[in-house]
Structure 1
């Protein structure tokens, strides 16, 4: 490993982190794509973490807040976390701290997408349920949100 290669890798990490937060997993992938050796990648990540430039916890917190804000439910968030390199234990801890009201979020998503009028036919209801499930909401949350919509009429 040359010191020049290490310096280039460190600069790449700083440049990537300057644009947005990244998980260590994402940075590792991006450095691999650029052809850096595993030892150079390890050293660059260690340097970034020692200086506080990169933090998986900070990344996960920001990412979770963004996912919840985008109207995603727990199941979708949990599935996407693995691909982002967010540890399940950390995700559970941050979700517990954020304490989102999943039924409220599901209801907001329902009203934003389909309006406040409850579905008139079974097909409309099924379409709404499929959409909310694809956004990661669980059946109980969907049922509660649709009941709230029905009562608000």
Structure 2
């Protein structure tokens, strides 16, 4: 027991502490969108997991899209730039965009917005990750080609990257 007080004072002050109010669905959505871009489908999934009703989530996302907070085109362009900068090719990126519920037109527009050359992206990745493929070692060429194909580059881009070295 504390000197000069009774034992219930500590427990009653703990119960008087204010709890943070439960965030509204709009606050939850904005919190997610301020961290990074989200596709409409991804944002809806996250809101539903956080206890927002599916119909309410759709209506909220419509409002946020109208206000410019959520935009699938902006999300797609951001994802293309991000994945390309980390060494992924166009096929991989297109497949990932499709998992976000984007239309084929939206995917094509995002891919067209990419300003770099996919051949150069593949060649740069090869120089960084498989420099041994830049020699005449056929086994190293095969390993590098397999790596680039797994990363979503076309055979034409793989050939360019190996021959560029």
TM range (shorter): 0.7 to 0.9
Alpha-carbon deviation of 1:20? 1.2
TM-score by length of 2: 0.79
The yes-or-no answer on 1:72 pairing with 2:88 is yes
TM-score by length of 1: 0.84
Q: How does 1:4-153 map to 2 (within 5 A)?
A: 8-115=24-131, 118-149=134-165
- RMSD over equivalenced CA pairs, Å: 1.9
The structure with higher relative contact order (CA 8 Å, sep 6+) is: 1
Structure 1 unmatched ranges of 5 or more:
none
Task: Give the total of aligned pairs.
Answer: 144
Distance, in Å, in 1 between the alignment partners of 2:35 and 2:161 is 37
Alpha-carbon deviation of 1:22? 0.9
Q: Could you say which structure has the higher helix fraction?
A: 1
Q: 1:15-66 CA deviation, whole Å, 9 max, x = no partner?
A: 1112111111111110121232222111211111121111111111111111
Distance, in Å, in 1 between the alignment partners of 2:113 and 2:31 is 31
Contact 1:67 1:77 in 2 (8 A): yes
Distance, in Å, in 1 between the alignment partners of 2:135 and 2:48 is 50
Structure 2 unmatched ranges of 5 or more:
1-21
Contact 1:103 1:144 in 2 (8 A): yes
Contact 1:74 1:137 in 2 (8 A): yes
Distance, in Å, in 1 between the alignment partners of 2:105 and 2:49 is 28
Q: Which has the larger radius of gyration?
A: 2
